[in-house]
Structure 1
Amino acid sequence: MGVAIDVQGLTKSFGSQLIWNDVTLTLPAGEISVMLGPSGTGKSVFLKTLVGLLKPDKGSIVINGADLVTLKEHDLYEVRKLFGVLFQDGALFGSMNLFDNVAFPLREHTKKTESEIRKISLEKMELVGLQGAEDKLPGEISGGMRKRAGLARALVLDPEILLIDEPDSGLDPVRTSYINQLFIDLNAQIDATFLIVTHDINTARTVPDNIGLLYHKHLAMFGPREMLLSSEEPVVRQFLNAQTVGPIGMSEEKDADELAAEAASGQQLPPLPPIAPQLGTSNGEPRRGERPAGEWCRANGVIPPPGSFQGPHTSVQVPERTLDQRPELDVGASLDHGAAS
């Protein structure tokens, strides 16, 4: 069963370069969360800090009552056993076949017999669809298979927390869809707490229970999926809908002159697109973090964009906003630098 991660006031710098400041959020136990942000905003640094590979300058990371920031190395090593990590490229050993790659953590960190190791490793490989590929080398398989092998290796110690760094990197849209469905099914089966760093907007819109956005050295927003997908916050709206109009520029944020030129030319962000139904499990069984479509919007009096939550297996009555009901958006509005939850 997954455990919650409570992050309070986390700040990280490299020398004089501030990466992010005062990040505060709680990753709910057993739920899937996604962390978004423009390139260079420190998403991968955030993952490494959560698992204790990097020390923050300030703040706390509390798991099961223990603050990872202040733990001694021996105790930190024990807490790390709660984690499984899938790196961007799978991080497989090129000279080992897939079976030995998957079995490596068991041989390194446990005293299990080879027969036990083989049983567990083959179970995890079957779980990610790699049965029959045990003898292949990483250089002989596709990028998607390497991702799945890395995922199987992350699962062999039965982690309660799974950190996943850009799983869609280098994958085509079809393989990305397959791995997204795999995350949903895995979360239902193992009930672990997932945090996925991604740039893929379709993944962000359809997979997670919660979404966060790092921007301009702070956490712009974190909360339930529907909260961010219906948000009028300019940076959240621009990023989640992949628009050029708004405060995010090519380098990171636009300067005042660029924003003024946009406003003078009458450029505005288009209406919010419909909120798609969240991906369900392959067998139709519910997950712990799954919420009824439109529940957050109804509970908070938010009218979602027209056409929201419509899918082949979705029947939900949620009032839809019209263009007249859509608030005017000032793309030059200053951002709230506090984290919303």
Structure 2
Amino acid sequence: MGVEIRVEGLTKSFGRQTIWQDVSLTLPAGEISVLLGPSGTGKSVFLKSLVGLLKPDRGHIWVGDRDLPRLPEAQLYDTRKLFGVLFQDGALFGSMNLYDNIAFPLREHTKKSEGEVKRIVMEKMEMVGLLGAEKKLPGEISGGMKKRAGLARALVLDPEILLVDEPDSGLDPVRTAYLNQLIVDLNSQINATFLIVTHDINTARTVPDNIGLLFRRELVMFGPREMLLSSEEPVVRQFLNARKVGPIGMSEEKDVSELEAEAKMGHDPGRLPPIPPQLMPSDGRVRPTQHAPGGWCAAHGVVPPPGSFIDDLGRNWVEEWPRYVAAMSPVGGGPAPGGFGQAGGGRPGAGAAP
């Protein structure tokens, strides 16, 4: 099971430039969280702070019962072994083949025999669909394969926390969809705590359990997926609708005169789109930490945008969910009649990725 991360009052500056301040959030153990925000808001800096590569100016990062910024170097080094990191460009060694790239953390941080190393590396390569590509160099493979190789390397030490920095960067929409499915499948298999930094709206709307948004050097919002996807916060609406109208400008934020001009013209960042069903694991099983569709909205008296939780076949998953869970549970004996559990068929979110 993954480890809970609690961030309290975190602030980071470079010289006189404040990147973000007083950031507080909790990444629930075993859940998938996504961090959104315009370019230049410090999302990658936040990831580097979480793993201890950058030290914040003030605040706490509790990984279990350890406060990362205050750990001695030896304990920090040991705590980092809880993390796996998929860097934006894969960060593979160009002179090493994929096998040696993936084996590198095991050879660097453990005393395992080459036989054990081979078993683990091949297991992780199979998990990400790279069996048969062991001898290829990074320069001989596609961007999507590089991402999967970087993901396999991040998994070899069996991390309890996985940080993923812009997995969609440089990928076409189809490869991004495949990678999203892989992330959901991995979370289902290893139950690690995931934090994904992304600009991809489809990823943010279909993959995570929780979403956060950084803007104007602050964390605007962080919480369950449905909370953000049903929010009337102007910056959230603008970002999710990918519109020019709203607080976000070309240089991150607009000045007062621009906002006043937009207000006079009566422009609106647009209504929020429907909340789609969440992407499910390929085998159709419900992840242990997954929440029922519409559960947060119902518990907080929020009416979601019209058309929410309805899949490509027109089924409302707020209504279908209890029957689906019963059909897919071990007690239920596996898939029930009516298409549940069939590949690409009855799963909520099945149409979100090929």
TM-score scaled by length of structure 2: 0.89
Question: Structure 1: which amino acid aligns with 2:204?
Answer: A
Q: Which residue of structure 2 aligns with residue 111 of structure 1?
A: 111
Residue 267 of structure 2 aligns to a residue in which SS?
coil
Structure 1 distance, partners of 2:316, 2:28, is 25
Question: Structure 2: which amino acid aligns with 1:316?
Answer: V
* Deviation (angstroms), 1:245: 1.1
Cα deviation, 1:176-222, whole Å, max 9, x if unaligned, reads: 00000000000000000000000000000000000000100010100
User: Residues 190-229 of structure 1 correspond to what in structure 2 (within 5 A)?
Assistant: 190-229=190-229
User: Residues 1-341 of structure 1 correspond to what in structure 2 (within 5 A)?
Assistant: 1-311=1-311, 312=313, 314-317=316-319
* Deviation (angstroms), 1:289: 2.3
* Deviation (angstroms), 1:288: 2.2
Unaligned runs of 5+ in 2: 321-354
* Deviation (angstroms), 1:268: 1.2
Structure 1 residues 226 and 136: CA distance shift in structure 2, 3 A: same
Cα deviation, 1:121-147, whole Å, max 9, x if unaligned, reads: 000000000000000000000000000
Cα deviation, 1:277-307, whole Å, max 9, x if unaligned, reads: 1101100111122111111011100001111
Structure 1 distance, partners of 2:317, 2:77, is 47
4+ aligned runs moved over 4 Å, structure 1: none
Q: CA RMSD in A?
A: 1.0
Would you say the 8 A contact 2:241–2:269 is kept in 1? no
Structure 2 distance, partners of 1:36, 1:195, is 11
Number of residue pairs matched? 318
Question: Structure 2: which amino acid aligns with 1:114?
Answer: E
Structure 1 distance, partners of 2:77, 2:318, is 46
Cα deviation, 1:60-93, whole Å, max 9, x if unaligned, reads: 0011201001000000001000000000010000
* Deviation (angstroms), 1:6: 0.5
Question: Structure 2: which amino acid aligns with 1:224?
Answer: P
**Identity over aligned pairs, percent:** 74
Q: Which residue of structure 2 aligns with residue 328 of structure 1?
A: none
Structure 2 distance, partners of 1:32, 1:41, is 21
Q: Which residue of structure 2 aligns with residue 336 of structure 1?
A: none
Question: Structure 2: which amino acid aligns with 1:247?
Answer: P
Structure 1 distance, partners of 2:66, 2:317, is 43
* Deviation (angstroms), 1:161: 0.1
Unaligned runs of 5+ in 1: 319-341
Cα deviation, 1:248-285, whole Å, max 9, x if unaligned, reads: 11111111111111111121122211111110110011
Would you say the 8 A contact 2:237–2:271 is kept in 1? no
Structure 1 distance, partners of 2:319, 2:150, is 41
Structure holding more helix per residue: 2
Residue 184 of structure 2 aligns to a residue in which SS?
helix
